Amino acid sequence: MRNEKQTTTTPLRPLKSLFRGVTRDWVLIVGTVVIVLIAASALAADLLATHEMGRVNLLATNQPPSGTHWLGTDALGRDMYSQLLYGGRTSLYVAVVSAKLATVIGVVLGAIAGYLGRYVDAALMRFSELVLAFPYLILVLILVSVVGASVNNLVIVFALTTWMGTFRIVRGEFMSLKHEPFVDAARTQGLSTARIIFRQILPNVASPILVALSIGVATIVLAEAALSFLGLGVPVTTATWGNLLAAAQSKEVLRNYWWIWVTPGLVISFFSIGVNLVADGLRDVLDPQSAKQ
């Protein structure tokens, strides 16, 4: 009854706009659910794991999925399901912390370069291009060989090699925002340059920064997997998604023991897809032009 009444009284919305509204929410919801599920299970690894972290059992190597080992075991008889949960902790820790660090570096440098302009901007721009142009893997190799391979060193390496995207976004936004009348108004109030940059202008750039941050997390999860696959990432004694995937380097594993590499691969894919969906949804929600429909 009520539905009928509504369709007769309200004019029909164009089907396209209706669909757009639904997809936007759908994207954000699905992405959030995937990320939250993966992150929560990694955090609750102690409760959810069926086996001790890194527990070697040479009597049950390369077992296919079964009642005791839900996702099978690897070449050393470690339970893949538990390893995945604990590995998620390290992988997500690396990704989240280094993405945040990279964002801080990018935001601060980008804000300063964009606002001050001239030679400060030129210098920071050239510096970012230098980092950007340097072959990524070689840079990581050098840094890892200098500071050594550990979880926190990896965080630093990622932070130092991924801030350039945020830097450029923030710099561009500042370059246009600094000519807004409200910045002039702030200047006539005698506010200091630092106050104008960080308290007046920066909040206006919050949404692109947030989107860049979430994409950064996904990028670093993938980068960690790639580095670990090459044996340059987190030391193999610590489980990470990338280290688990590294087992697929052996052709024998690839051919005969699919459960050892399919599941970490799926988790990594789902997570990065989830993050990208959230980033997409955030972009729409945070865009003031589309927010008021």
Partner 1 sequence: MMGARAMEAILTVKDLVLDTGGKKNSQTLVDGVSFTAYRGRMLAIVGESGSGKSLTVSSVAHLLPSAVRRVSGEITLYAGDTEVRIDRLAKLGREMRRIRGLNIGMVFQDPMAALNPVQTIGRQVTERLLAHTRVSRADANVRAIALLESLGIGSAAERFHRYPHEFSGGMRQRVMIAIALICDPDLVLADEPTTALDVIVQAQILALLRDMVDDGRAVVLITHNMGLVAEYADDVAVMYQGQIIERGTVEEVLGNPKHPYTAGLLRCVPVMDMDRDVDLATISTAFTQAQKGHIS
Contact positions toward partner 1, by CB under 8 A? 180-182, 184-193, 195, 199-200, 203-204, 206
For residues 186 and 262, which CB has a smaller minimum distance to partner 1 in the complex? 186
Distance, in Å, from the CA atom of 105 to the CA atom of 156, rounded to the nearest integer, reads: 11
State which residue, 139 or 191, has the beta carbon closest to partner 1: 191
Q: How far is the CB of 211 from partner 1 (least distance, A)?
A: 16
3-state secondary structure of 79: strand
Name which of 105 and 191 has its Cβ closer to partner 1.
Answer: 191
Strands (E), the chain: none
For 79, phi then psi, to 5°, come to: -70, 120
The encoded tokens of residue 85 equal 């949960």
Q: What are 98's two structure tokens?
A: 């280094």
5 vs 192: CA distance, rounded Å? 59
DSSP helix/strand/coil, 73: strand
| Closer Cβ to partner 1, 20 or 187, answer by number | 187
Closer Cβ to partner 1, 115 or 261, answer by number: 115
Nearest to 218, CA basis, from 264, 268, 266, 156: 268
Residues near 96 by beta carbon (within 8 Å), at least 6 away in sequence: 217
Nearer to partner 1, 204 or 250 (CB): 204
Q: Are residues 277 and 29 in contact, defined by beta-carbon separation less than 8 angstroms?
A: no
Shortest distance, position 203 Cβ to partner 1, whole Å: 5
Q: Whose Cβ is closer to partner 1: residue 135's or residue 288's?
A: 288
- What distance in Å separates the CA atoms of residue 224 and residue 230, rounded to the nearest whole number? 10
- Residue 205 CB, shortest distance to partner 1, in Å, is 9
- Nearest-angstrom CA–CA distance, 95 and 115: 29
Residue from 267, 271, 155, 169 nearest 213 by CA: 169
Q: Please state the closest distance from residue 214 (CB atom) to partner 1, in A.
A: 20
